Amino acid sequence: MEKLKAVVPSGLKGILSESNPEDIPSTCSSLLEFFQPLPLFQKVVRELTDPETALCAKNVATALDFKQKGNEYFSSGDYAKALAFYSQALRFAPMEVDKLDEMLATTIYVNRASSLHKMGLLIEALRDCNRAVVLSPCYAKAWYRRGTANASLQNFEDAISDMTVAMNMEVSLGGKNQIKDKLKIILDQRKRTMRESSSTNLHNDKNLGSCSNTVSTDETCQIKLQCVSTPSKGRGMASLSDIAQASLVHSEEPYAVILLKHCRDNYCHFCLSELPADMVPCTSCSISLYCSQHCQAKAGGKPSGSNSNNYSIPKSVPPDLERYIAKTLAIDSGYALVDANADHFFEHGHECGGAHWPAVLPCEIVLAGRALVKSIVDKGHSKGGSETIESLELLNNYAQMTLERKLETHIYSIILAYCLQQSYGLEFSLTGASISQLVILICQIKVNSMAIVQMKSVDAYGPLEQSRSQPSTKGALTSNIEQIRVGQAIYPAGSLFNHSCQPNVHAYFISRTLFIRTTEFVPAGYPLELSYGPQVGQQEFKVRQQLLEDRYSFKCQCGGCSEMNLSDLVINAFRCAKPNCLGTVLDSCMAKHTQQKVSWLQVIPNFGSFERHLPIDKLKREDISKVAQLLLEQTNRTFQVDPGYCLNCGSYNDLESSHATAKKAEIYIYRLHNAINSMEVATNTLTDALESLYILRSTLHAYNKDMAEAEDNLAAAYCSIGELHPAMDHSKASIKLSLGDSTVMDSINQLDEIFSLYYGSHSARIFPYLESLKREASKLY
């Protein structure tokens, strides 16, 4: 890219720099004319698209190599490593070429099933056996392995049938004897178990091939929204009626979506959920991995092996067993679960011939390709789909882009057009007009696409009683949830919600579905605004403004940025050093921003919106309340906030020395943070951090965000060494919770309320730990 950028003549760069959206067809045309005869450009495009140099294709030699390593680890008893190598081998093993290749994939599935079985992952082992028999229905070893997995799962009837099939398929005498011996063991096991209890085929359910991450549809969205025009933010979403707190106001499937590169090996490339141990690869390329055949098929993988029903069963197989085989193959194929007649778009189809452009180009560029192909497929023709792209009717930020970004976007669009033409074979004409559609699409993605985040639960420290129905908590005593950014997607309706640093709706994702829920009561006609990232209370005003400008090219005009709020005032504030004064002291930077905000106040807001976010009467710091009031009452613009002077008692503070003291103390907090991450919290690290916390308490304002972070780290550190009382005290200090005499149950209920507010009926799914906490707490009463 850098080399291509460097060769563009300065005259062309000048035109690009001055260009507006209506000029894009002609700028694309000029750049295309310049690049087409250029050997450097031809080389770049050839390397990305030539099937001969495709690096992401299936490759038998690589698959065999990984399989061999897997076998070695299996023999040495390192089943986890063996599993990892078999999974890699599957990525490269061809699945639909000829009999030999099919057998390679089958044997890897069988070997991986053995590793999974050894690791106690029985359902996963059974699923791999299913994949093996689907690929090669006459392979005795696959049925044998399936029989052992079913036997361990106590699915004895199936286990016996599997062994009987294996016996019929096996040709060698030695093999037949081995199966006979195993069958005898299973029959004995069944007899014993039947005596103990009446066993049922617990795990032979029809969804073995499907994705467990499908979104429950028990909560439907009843609220009617309207798209309104706002004076300062363009179009936006508003409600037609009053909306209660925690109501689901919107849910939507993505128009186009992509998994981010750093998540490629751990998350499903279709549903974006974490991959299970028995992940399945794309049937045609070596990049994509899926959590199930269902996702594999939905993304556009092609069915392989016996899905085409062209297998031949030996004549010796009796009819009832033949029916069993047919039933097993039908149930265990994920493809059977994808409705062939449904209006479904195979989003990965055009990328998976083995060419490596989807792996090399940036995600947002590949996403633009997906959106373009979808628009063409949706239209049902292949003439470039230009109208459909425009019909997305999304804002773009072309006019605000720098020359650098404009140039990059043009070059990527031209390269993408070549890649799409090569691998999709569409009649996408390589003209300035058609390529300009891609430029616009990429700019629309920049402004409107949403980052998909998934919640990851990290459960730790000590056993809570395990519950069969809640295995996801793994019996942990504490639990953290982390947000992981896994993908980027276009939701055409979802992108009509404007941003606010004090949002009244919350967006979250389950799998790839977007959900938006109110976090407070919203009166009819009032705008519904979510946070694009920055929020009051998490970052100060200036940082928020900069983030939004950099990422989305707009200057935020939300309530949080144009009205006064307590958080912005104290988030970086110091504490007055005068004895007995807890007053607020602002440094010159904060004082300047505060002053700036005061000067912006056009209409003084009433106290209602102010109180909604921080109940002033509950704050002990008198001066903050006074300052807030004072600021809100200012109608003239002469109000002065002087750096270094206490807003409560007016005395002067030497902030240079406070800064230095705080900085030094924070080093020890940072060390503790690293120790927590590496799970090695030594006593002296903890003691040093505790001393630093006391120093910070006497230097920083109680509501300074660094105070909360320090308390948080101390809480995590105490938790990690099992000292739960101080851990709780620091947690409370971190979030300024005053629980008084509340019981454990009260605290859990409070947590439950907070989660329900943000996730409604999905809260148990997002944070399953809460359910086990409730169960444990109920035992105490």
Q: Interface residues with ligand SAM (CB under 6 A)?
A: 232-236, 395, 447-448, 495-496, 498-500, 552, 554, 556-558
* Residues contacting residue 242 through CB under 8 Å, at least 6 positions apart: 521, 522, 523, 524
Side-chain half-sphere exposure of 674, counting CA atoms within 13 A: 6
The pair phi, psi for residue 719, each rounded to 5°, is: -60, -40
Residue type, 217: T
Least Cβ distance, residue 396 to ligand SAM (angstroms): 9
Residue nearest to ligand SAM as judged by C-beta position: 234
Residue whose CB is less far from ligand SAM, 71 or 557: 557
Residue 536: DSSP 8-state: B
Number of helices and strands (H, E) in the chain? 31, 14
Query: For residues 488 and 474, what is the distance between their CA atoms, to the nearest angstrom?
Result: 30
What single string gives the DSSP state of each residue in 59-77?
Answer: -HHHHHHHHHHHHHHHHTT
> Please, which residue, 234 or 362, has the CB nearer to ligand SAM?
234
Measured from the CB atom, the residue of 217 and 229 that comes closer to ligand SAM is 229
Report the residue number, 450 or 627, with the smaller CB distance to ligand SAM. Answer: 450
C-beta of 379: minimal distance to ligand SAM in Å?
23
Give 250's contacts (C-beta < 8 A, 6+ positions apart): 221, 223, 225, 237, 493, 494, 497, 514, 515, 516
DSSP type of residue 274: B
- For the CB of residue 385, give the shortest distance to ligand SAM in the complex, in Å: 21
What is the C-alpha radius of gyration for the chain, rounded to an integer number of angstroms?
Answer: 31
Burial profile 33-65: b = 16 or more Cβ within 10 angstroms, e = fewer: eebeeeeebeebbeebbeeeebebbbbeebbee
For the CB of residue 252, give the shortest distance to ligand SAM in the complex, in Å.
Answer: 13
Helix 140-152 with 99-118: angle, nearest 10 deg: 20
For residue 342, the minimal CB distance to ligand SAM (Å) is: 29
In the complex, what is the shortest distance from the CB of residue 232 to ligand SAM, in angstroms, rounded to a whole number?
A: 6
Which ranges of 642-682 would DSSP assign to H, the alpha helix? 655-677
Tokens found for residue 446: 């920049």
184 vs 485 by CB, closer to ligand SAM: 485
CB of 15 to ligand SAM, least distance (A): 25
> How many whole angstroms separate alpha carbon 373 and alpha carbon 54?
21
Q: How far is the CB of 446 from ligand SAM (least distance, A)?
A: 9
* Cβ distance to ligand SAM smaller for residue 374 or 499: 499
Task: Give the residue with the Cβ less far from ligand SAM, 236 or 281.
Answer: 236
Q: How many CB atoms lie within 10 A of CB 630?
A: 15
For ligand SAM, give the closer residue by CB, 145 or 499. Answer: 499
Of 264 and 613, nearer to ligand SAM (C-beta) is: 613
Using alpha carbons only, what angle is made at residue 16 by residues 15 and 22, rounded to the nearest 5 degrees? Answer: 95
Token duo for residue 634: 């200012």
Task: Output the smallest distance, CB 549 to ligand SAM, in A.
Answer: 10
The CB-of-552 to ligand SAM minimum distance in angstroms stands at: 5
Q: Which residue has the tokens 């499907």?
A: 210
By beta-carbon proximity to ligand SAM, the closer residue of 76 and 232 is 232
